Structures are given as structure tokens and as C-alpha cells.
Amino acid sequence: MLKQNLNIPGPSELPLEVLHALGTQMVANRGDDRFSRALEEIVKSTQEIMNTKNEILLFTSSGTGGMESAIVNTLSPGDDILVCINGEFGSRFALIAEKFGVEIHRTESGWGKPINLDAVQEKLVEDHNKKIKAVFAIHNETSTGVLNDLEKLGSMVRRHGALFVVDAVSSVGAVEFRADQWHVDVAVTASQKGLMAPPGLSLICVSDKVWKAAEEAKMPRYYWDYRLARGLFGKTRGVPDSQLPGIPITPSIALIFALQKSLALLKKEGLANVYRRHRKISKALRAGVKALGLQLIADESFASPTVTVVLLPDELKGEEARQILREKYNIVIAPGQKKLHQNGIRIGHIGYMDLKDIIAVLTGLEGALAEKGLIDQSALGMGAGAAHRTYIAGE
């Protein structure tokens, strides 16, 4: 079987060192020095990546589980929240909260647009009685490839006094994230994207305000209870094993060793270099897409460094383009979501990727366009060339 390129917005391919770490023998999840060290390193590295002094919790779960944990630990049924929606993952936050009987207020932006900050400001200013308990937002909206400005949003929420809950699943590890400076109370991320580990771990950054909210929150919870989850990390905070609250679960030891390794690799490359790499390859990809006469749905000023949504001409449906890339080029890209399913494709460039990955995708796209007669064969290389030149020109 030939090598397949995985260009979806997570899970992304794994560095060899991370794959090897997955093959580690099991150890006891309490009292084993190597395991304690892995947890300690994960906490420290995640704090560095998120630019925070807040506590980090870890669940054996996907990112969606982490999103649910943020709701059940901070709210009671009937509470009011504001969800800033500019795509599918914003809607998911609202959907989960709705299931738990929360009263949802929304701001909505058109697809491919960032969160409407004026609308958020208006809703927060109108809320004289401070009914809104928390504001929910997505840092990088993976369905549309839009990076939201959390600095401005965080200041607005801070002035109002609500909790600020952020889904940073498709940004952390690939895009700068400043939890403390942006006044983020709960930040949720997951292992399988920028952090270059397999799916299966969610990481939650929790502010002091949340510990108080967790005591007051009346949502039923057991597995997701932050107060119990904290037990796993007691040792990293200097609390001896004997005094920890019970750890409610057996954590995924293999994934924890894999994440320890992938975080070490990010540190070795240097976070500033990692972020620059994502900015450069995403900018190059957008230049290549435009050179092929295709449309991007997000404006350059807020385009995501980790995922790009491309609109195809009517003559080439998204499904067909994905099939040609998969079958003829061994490249897997993701379908457009919801209203972008027919004509859209999503190209992931998050995690363990560099210029050659996006050059390969552009080559596949050129092939698909040529196969449908939408470009001449003499135009092959046009997108890849434009991307390469943009990359060389720098940021």
C-alpha cells in the first residue's frame, strides 16, 4: 500500500516518534514515576502553549466530550448563556447546552465570516441584570476556516463579568493561544490536531473562577466532574497520592505517553517556528487556490492557518474532487460541511505538515480540474507554483 497523505483538519498524521511512543508497555496509573513525569510534562507544556498559569485537566475523550464538560461544570439547568456562532462548531456548543436545559442566546454570522463582535457587545450591554452566566466561542471555526479574534471578545466578556468558554480544538498547538491575556475561563482542546497526537484526549484549561462555578453548578455529572478530574494531576500540584480525591477513571496511558512525546517535539521545533510554519503554508495554499481560479470562503484577514475551505465550480462537485484526489493521488481531504457540502472542500494543514503537503494537495486539485476539462493540461503546476513562490517570499 502506497503512502496516503491525510489532509483533513484532524486527525493529522503522526510523527514517527509519536507512533513509537504509542507502543509503550502499560504502567500503573498511580505511583509510577514515568507516568507521573509524563503528566507533569503535559501540564507544563500545555500551560506554556496556552500561555496560562491556570490548571490543566485531561480527559480520555474527544474534543466534543471536552465541550460538554465545560457546560456541565459551569452551569445549572435554566441558566442563560450567549453562544457566538459563525459555523458548525459554534452551533454544536449551543446544541449541547440545549440538551442540558440551558437558555441559549445567540449571535450569528454568515458562513465564512468571523464572530460578529458588535452583536456580541450589544447583547452583553443589554444584559443589565447580568443574567448571562457564560459566553461561548470557537477560536478557529473548522467548518469555515475562520480564525476569531479572542482578544477583543475576551475583553468584552471580562467587562460584563460572565465566564468565557472557548473551544480551541483546531487552534492550540498550531496557532498562538493566550488564555490568561484573553481572560479565558475554560479552554478546551484535543490531542489529534495541532498537538500531533492521536485522537482520544481532551485538555481543559480552567481558571480560578471556574472552580467556584463548579461548586455552584447543578448540572448532573460524574465522569466530567472537574473536581474529580483534578485528582489525576494532584501530584503535579504537590499533593501526595494519598491525599488525592479518587481518580474516577483509568486514563489512556498509551495516549498520554504519545502526547508527552508530541509536546516535546513541538517544544524542540519552538512554538514561534511552529506557528510561523502554519501561517506560511496556509498563505501559500490560499495563493495556489486563487491561482487556479477557485474561490476561498474566508477573507485573507481572518483566514485560518489550520484549515482552508475552497468553493469549487459547479462542474466539479466536492464529492467528485475528493474522489479524484483519493483514488488518483492518494490524498484525503475533507468534505464541506452543511451548506458547503455540495460545492465545498476543506483542506486541513494542521499539525505534522509542511510545504510539500500543500503542494501535493494543489497538484491533486489541478489534476481534478484538468480531468473535468476546467483547466488545460498546460496549466498543471499553476497552483503549486504560485504556492511555492508565496512560500519563498515569506510571511
**Is 114 a binder of ligand PMP (CB under 6 A)?**
no
Q: Which of 10, 277, 298 is nearest to 146 (CA)?
A: 298
- Cis? peptide before 251, omega within 30° of 0: no
Q: Which of 41, 55, 79, 167 binds ligand PMP (CB under 6 A)?
A: 167
Spatial contact of 308 and 279, defined as CB atoms under 8 Å apart: no
Which of the ranges 149-157, 162-170, 274-282, 341-349 carries the binding residues for ligand PMP, by CB under 6 A?
162-170
Q: Which of 21, 138, 197, 287 binds ligand PMP (CB under 6 A)?
A: 138
Alpha-carbon distances, residue 16 vs 23, 201, 211, 270, 281 (angstroms) = 11, 19, 38, 18, 21
Smallest gap from residue 326 Cβ to ligand PMP (A) = 19
Largest CA distance in the chain: 71
Which residue number, 73 or 363, has a Cβ lying nearer to ligand PMP? 73
Q: Which of 56, 57, 153, 190 binds ligand PMP (CB under 6 A)?
A: 190
Which residue number, 169 or 174, has a Cβ lying nearer to ligand PMP? 169
Site for ligand PMP in 8-27 (CB under 6 A): 10
**Is 89 a binder of ligand PMP (CB under 6 A)?**
yes
Q: Tell how far CA 352 is from the center of its chain.
A: 14
Per-residue burial over 157-190, b = 16 or more CB atoms within 10 Å of its CB, e = otherwise? beebebbbbbbbbbbbbbbbbebeebbbbbbbbb
Rounded to whole angstroms, the Cα distance separating 132 from 211 reads 18
Which residue number, 140 or 207, has a Cβ lying nearer to ligand PMP? 140
What are the φ/ψ torsions at residue 109 (nearest 5 degrees)?
-120, 155
Which residue number, 258 or 375, has a Cβ lying nearer to ligand PMP? 258
Query: x/- contact string, 240-279, with ligand PMP (CB under 6 A)?
Result: ----------------------------------------
**Is 285 a binder of ligand PMP (CB under 6 A)?**
no
Site for ligand PMP in 46-75 (CB under 6 A): 62-64
Smallest gap from residue 99 Cβ to ligand PMP (A) = 15
Which residue number, 58 or 169, has a Cβ lying nearer to ligand PMP? 169
Which of the ranges 104-112, 165-173, 246-254, 264-272 carries the binding residues for ligand PMP, by CB under 6 A?
165-173
Residues contacting residue 86 through CB under 8 Å, at least 6 positions apart: 108, 109, 111, 113, 114, 115, 116, 138, 141, 144, 146, 148
Which residue number, 138 or 150, has a Cβ lying nearer to ligand PMP? 138
**Burial environment of residue 109 by CB neighbours within 10 A (0 to 12, 13 to 18, 19 or more):** buried
Give the three cell numbers for residue 207: 481558571
- Phi-psi domain of 25 (left: phi exceeds 0; alpha: psi -120 through 50; beta: other): beta
Residues that bind ligand PMP (CB under 6 A): 10, 62-64, 89, 138, 142, 167, 169-170, 190, 199
